[in-house]
Each structure stands twice: as structure tokens, then as C-alpha cells.
Structure 1
Amino acid sequence: MSDWILSIEGTPAGHTAAMILALTAALLHAIFGSLQKGRIDPWLSRGAIDSAQVLLALPLALFLVPWPEGHEWLLVLGALPIHFCYKVGMALAYSRGAFTVVYPIVRGMGPVFTVIGAYLVFGETFSLTQWLGVLALMTGIFGLAVYNLKTIKVDRDTLVPALWLAAGTGGLVAVYTTYDAFAIRGTPNPFTFLAWFFVVASVDMPIVAALRWRRMTDRPPLARLVRLGVTGAIIAFGSFGSVMLATRLDKVGEAAVLRETSTVFAALIGWLVLRETVGPRRIALMSLIAVGAVIVELGG
């Protein structure tokens, strides 16, 4: 598999594969976000997911992929503090705001900052047409968040802090996307970075969740947390793994923009699963997000 990934890197086939991977990551990331928000404390849910990620990824890292060598260990370890800050930001935002308000803000902050980071780090540039697509996508994302802010009645007293937390966490999305792209490109075998990433960058939240669990009086059933953890870990492998491979195969900025169509999937999940209200205005804004992503892809 790694030989095939390396063989199509930077080719038209690699571009197509990166597009498919980024869109796959968008769908899976929306599902992943809804699992963390869900009906269980977001700190516990993330801790359960990360625990399962360590347990499932460790055998792969130890026995199925080449181990990192030299500076490659630094690339893997460098992901830990960035992703820890991101996960803390997500948990803080989710504990204060509705999923369909918080999630679009987090994802909406990412594309422009990631495109700028890709320019500074990798020398990538966007055409004018692509920038118009980014503008359309971000207009849809932030329009969706503003509409949700005006119409959603739950968590109103904590909604403004949730939005500030979501905006800051969105900046961290751009940081980790750029860093992960740099790291996976700096590792000869991309699956070496992926396997060890899911081990190393997942050891933090289980500790936080365990400390929180000890202080709770109304604890969710342990079996439910285990099911959530395993399901979330498998989805995370597909979501984060797909977008990381996409940034290895093609432009980081384009992969980041396509991934943010996850807000469309998130709105549908919020409506169908979490029973949050959806109407024609939301549908129009979701369509604008999708149109923006298409413009970015066709304008490249």
C-alpha cells in the first residue's frame, strides 16, 4: 500500500486520490465530531476514543510498519502538544455550545489559515478562482453558524464563550493540518507516521478522562464508553488518516478546503441524529459550502 501511495504522489492519479480521501475525511470527521458531542460528557467520550486508538494502533505500529528513525521520532512527538491543545479546545467548546453551532465555527476557521500556512511552509499558491471558492465556502460555514446562533435555544447562556473557544480551536485546526502535512511528508513511509501518530498523540486524553471520571457522581456505563471508544477510534483512523494521506499526495490547502465540507455532513447529523432544527436557510448555506468546495477543486 505504501509503495502505491509513493508511486502516485504528485501525479494526476495522486490528485484524484487526494480529492477522494479529503471528501471521505469530511464525512467521517463529521461523524466523529457528533460522537464526541453526543449525549456523553465530551471529555469522557474523547478519552474513551483515544484509549481505543492507542490499543488498536499499537500492534500496527510495533509489528506492521517500519519504526521511525532519528528525527522521525521528533516529527511524531511534535504532534502531541498541538493535538492536545486542539482536543482540549473542542471539549471546552462542546461542553458549552450546540454541535451545529460549534462545529461550523471550528471548521470554518481552518481553510484560510491552512492555505496561508501551506504557502509559507510548502510554497503552495491558490488561483483567483480558488480564492473565490474559499470565500464562498467560508461564507456558507459562518452563515450557518450565525443562523444557528440566532435560532438554537439550548445552551444560550454559554453560547458566546463556546463561539470564542470554537474560533480559537479552529486556528489550531490550521496549525495541526500544516504540521501533520509537514511530518507525514518528512517520514519515508507515510504509514509509519500514521501508526505512531495514533499511539503517541492519543495518550493524553485518557489521563484527563480518568481524572474527570473519578470526580463524577453520575457516571455513564463503562460498557457504553467502551463501545463509543472503539467506534470512534475506527472512524478516526479513516478520518484523520485519509486527510493526512491526502496532504502527502497533493496540495495541503486543497485537501484542507475539501475536508471542511464536513460542516454539510455535520448539519445533516445534527438534524437527523441529534434532533437539532434544520430549515431551508440551512440547506441553502450548506449548498453554498458545497459549491465553494467544487470551485476550489475545479479552479486548481
Structure 2
Amino acid sequence: MASFVVSLVLLSALMHASWNAFLHLSGDRLWLLGMFSIPYLAVSAVGVCVLPLPAPESWPYIAASAVLELAYCFTLIRAYRSGDFGQIYPIARGLSPLLVFAGAFAFAHEAMRPLAASGVALVSLGIMSLAFRRGMRFSGESVPYALLTGLFIAVYSVIDGLGARLAGNALSYIMWVYLLWNVPQFIIVCKLRGGVAQMFASKSNAARGMIAGLLALSAYCLVIEAFRYLPIATVSALRELSSIFAVLIGWLFMHEKLTARRMIACALVTCGAVLIRL
């Protein structure tokens, strides 16, 4: 069972890197964020109607997660304003393994074995090595926003890991998070982009945006399910293999340089993931 769950998390990592590539390449990232919301709203509206209500004790977690997801999305599109995809995406993911490890230890009382803890450290070290130049200076104006994005990821990962367990039904939990996060997000984007009609001015672009939204939605549903079977910190760290996928996507499809630093960072992430699995 554990190996199957790990495979689901790795599939989620690939899907996550793919939808972020859509976002990075978009000429209007704010508009695309609005398109992302449509699959979330459609699926979550059905989900909350047919699934049982989450347990009462999980509702504070649902509300907190929705607010954090909204903040995460807007800091992410700001982080993508400049910088290579193969740099900004790994940085945005890089804070979360260590912070989730600390949060899961403090709030969920999850203790990791030494090999797994070493793996989490290697994953974070490999990814964060992309954030700095010599002298520990940020390597780009978008890096602080990428780091802030990573902080949001870590906090909502811990909250979701705890909330999904309290809810009684992990899928019901995430459906409510999706609904409460994407209603305000879609309204905000529509107001900033001239209304609903303007959002659908190009049907082909709208379709591509919604496909990317489906990838994003599916990726996190897999993670929420994995939280039921594996430690929160383990799931979070395994998800960071998405950074390797991001570097490869940037090299293959965006003609970004595959530098020695990025290759070493990928090697550290891979070794860390192996230690976590062991």
C-alpha cells in the first residue's frame, strides 16, 4: 500500500510542475488564475453536495487552508514575474519540507527516523541552493516572493494534514477548501479583468486555462489522500521531486540553461527522496 501511495504522490509532483509551467508561460497570469478557479468551483460544488459534511472540529482548518491557498496563488504569480521557471519554481517549493517537518513534529507529534530526517534536509538543501548567489544574496528580484510562497505552502500543508484526519472524509475536506478558496479568487480576478464576459473572450485560451486548472486540482487531491496513509512531512518531501520535473520542463520546453548548480540541486533532491523512502 505504501509503495502505491508514494507513486500517487510522485504523479502529483509531475502534475504540479506541469500546471505551474502553464502559469509561468501565460501572457496574463492573473487571468489564468481565474480560469484555474472554474474546474475547482465546478468539482467542489458537486463534491460538497454529494459528500458528507466534514466533522465539526475540522472547520477551522478548512477556513485557514482556504485563506492560505488564496494568498499562495497571488504570491506565486508575483514570483513568476521574472526569473527562470527552473529557478523560481524549486525555490517556491524549497522551504516547505523543513518547515513541514518542524510543523508536523510540533503539532501532529510526528517524529521522523534519522534517515528520513536526513532526506528532508537534503531535499531542502538542494532546492534552496538555487535561491542564493555567492555572499548569500538573493539571485533575482522574484526570489523573496518565491520564498514567501514556500512559507504559505508549508503552513497549509500542515493544516491540511491535520484537518483531513479530523474531517473523517479527506475528499469532503478538500472539496470545502476548494470552494471557499476559489469563490473569492474568481470574483477578485473577474473584477480586475473587466468581468466574466471578458474572461471568456478567447474560448481556446479559456479551455487551456481550465485544463491546467484540472491538473492542479487533481494533483492536490492525490496529496490529500496520501496524507491519510503517510506522515505529513514524508508526503511533503516526496512532492518536492516536482522541482526536478520543473528543471527538466524548463530545459526541454522553455530553452532554459541546465547549469551545474541546477543539476547538483536535482541530485540532492533525488538522494533525499530515496532516503525518505528508505
Contact 2:40 2:179 in 1 (8 A): yes
Counterpart residue identity of residue 8, structure 2: L
1:191 to 171, 175, 193: 171
2:12 alignment counterpart: 25
1:124-175 per-position Cα deviation (integer Å, ceiling 9, x unaligned)? 112222232223222321234458x9xxxxxxxx963310111111111110
2:221 to 230, 241, 253: 241
Q: Quote how far apart the aligned CAs of 1:219 are.
A: 8.6
1:127 alignment counterpart: 113
Contact 2:55 2:168 in 1 (8 A): no
Cα distance in 1 for residues equivalent to 2:262 and 2:200: 33
Q: Quote how far apart the aligned CAs of 1:118 are.
A: 0.3
The 3-state SS of whatever aligns with 1:291 is helix
1:232 alignment counterpart: 212
Contact 2:57 2:167 in 1 (8 A): no
Counterpart residue identity of residue 194, structure 1: I
Question: Alignment length, in residue pairs?
Answer: 273
2:49 alignment counterpart: 62
Counterpart residue identity of residue 185, structure 1: R
- List runs of 5+ in structure 2 lacking aligned partners: none
1:86 alignment counterpart: 72
1:236-275 per-position Cα deviation (integer Å, ceiling 9, x unaligned)? 2221111111112110000000001110001111112222
1:6 alignment counterpart: none
Q: Percent identity?
A: 25
Contact 1:50 1:229 in 2 (8 A): no
Cα distance in 2 for residues equivalent to 1:133 and 1:195: 31
| TM-score (norm: length of structure 1) | 0.83
- List runs of 5+ in structure 1 lacking aligned partners: 1-12, 150-157
| TM-score (norm: length of structure 2) | 0.89
Map 1:94-243 onto structure 2 (within 5 A): 94-146=80-132, 160-214=140-194, 222-243=202-223
Closer, same or farther in 2 for the Cα pair 1:219/1:66, shift >3 Å? closer
Cα distance in 1 for residues equivalent to 2:199 and 2:41: 23
The 3-state SS of whatever aligns with 1:202 is helix
Counterpart residue identity of residue 254, structure 1: T
The 3-state SS of whatever aligns with 1:238 is helix
